[in-house]
Amino acid sequence: MTPEDFGLREEPRRHELSHDHFGQSDAVDAPMFDTGTTIVAVTAEDGVVMAADQRMSLGGRFTANKNARKISRVHPRAAFAISGSVGPAQDVVRSLRAEASLYESRRDEPMSMAAVSQTAGHLVRGLPVAPILGGVDDEGGHVYELDGGGSVMADAYAAGGSGMQVAYGVLERRFEPGAALADATDAAVAAVDAACERDTASGNGVTVATITDAGVEIEAVDDASEATATEGRDAAGDSGEVA
């Protein structure tokens, strides 16, 4: 409630500063929304591994798509995993790709992961999405959690979506700093698989993205944990749109 709700009226402020309204009702808060998915990202010795389930559901009650691709390349050495509303997330992926491409064409060098993460944070601000960004630069592998409030949080590993609690339980046990890519992949896939067992909004296989200095490789893995398709192998290729 505000003073006006009780019939009170404040006098106009004559000397307002730009930061006077921070924390008040006109500030942008993270939108409230349901997430029906499981996404994870894990740093490794030579890169980053990301994984996501492939189910798109309606409120967690009806499976609308069994082959949803929730990880997309957005930079020669970075990928973006979505959680939240599909339409806004697709717009963010396209915009982030364009920003990274424009930066590289103007400066003749790719964006650092710090720059990519801050750009992504601005793009998702105010949107009903909670994605994870993973990538590699000259400083090594990086994982960032983002949300609609504009926050950008770096960590060694992260999970998101409706299955995140189960996924975090697996990652807490299996994550090893500086692990080989194969071990990091096993941990990421195990985290998503475990979430799919308990979360009705997650399932139908796992998509895995392996990010190294060589580029982004995205692989779809079915329920039997067998590779079924690979795309986006070279850094210049397109890893596929978010479904």
pTM given for the model: 0.78
Instruction: Determine the Cα–Cα distance for residues 107 and 109; give it in Å rounded to an integer.
Output: 5
Instruction: Determine the Cα–Cα distance for residues 51 and 81; give it in Å rounded to an integer.
Output: 8
237 pLDDT band, cuts 50/70/90, is very low
Tokens 């808060």, residue located: 29
238 pLDDT band, cuts 50/70/90, is very low
32 pLDDT band, cuts 50/70/90, is low
Tokens 């996501």, residue located: 52
34 pLDDT band, cuts 50/70/90, is low
- pLDDT in the model for residue 241: 46
* Whether the predicted pLDDT of 231 surpasses 60: no
- pLDDT in the model for residue 78: 98
More confident residue, 224 or 221: 221
Residues belonging to the active site: 37
Displacement of CA 219 from its chain's centroid (Å)? 17
- pLDDT in the model for residue 243: 39
* Whether the predicted pLDDT of 225 surpasses 50: no
H helices, E strands: number in the chain: 4, 13
Q: What is the mean pLDDT of residues 69-80?
A: 96
Which residue from 239, 237, 240, 204 is spatially nearest to 221, judged by alpha carbons? 204
Share of the chain above pLDDT 70, in %: 76
30 pLDDT band, cuts 50/70/90, is low
- pLDDT in the model for residue 12: 44
Q: What is the mean pLDDT of residues 46-62?
A: 88
Per-residue pLDDT tens over the stretch 102-123 = 999 999 999 999 999 999 999 9
Instruction: Determine the Cα–Cα distance for residues 74 and 241; give it in Å rounded to an integer.
Output: 10
Per-residue pLDDT tens over the stretch 141-199 = 999 999 999 999 999 999 999 999 999 999 999 999 999 999 999 999 999 999 999 99
Tokens 């796992």, residue located: 206
221 pLDDT band, cuts 50/70/90, is confident
Q: What is the mean pLDDT of residues 214-231?
A: 65
Instruction: Determine the Cα–Cα distance for residues 160 and 179; give it in Å rounded to an integer.
Output: 21
- pLDDT in the model for residue 20: 41
219 three-state secondary structure:
strand
Average predicted confidence (pLDDT) for the chain: 82
Q: State both tokens at 108.
A: 């003749």
All structural domains of the chain: 30-231 (3.60.20.10)
* Whether the predicted pLDDT of 230 surpasses 60: no
- Name the strand (E) or helix (H) holding 165: helix 164-174
Q: What is the mean pLDDT of residues 38-57?
A: 95
Q: What is the mean pLDDT of residues 71-88?
A: 94
State the Rg of the chain over Cα. Answer: 19
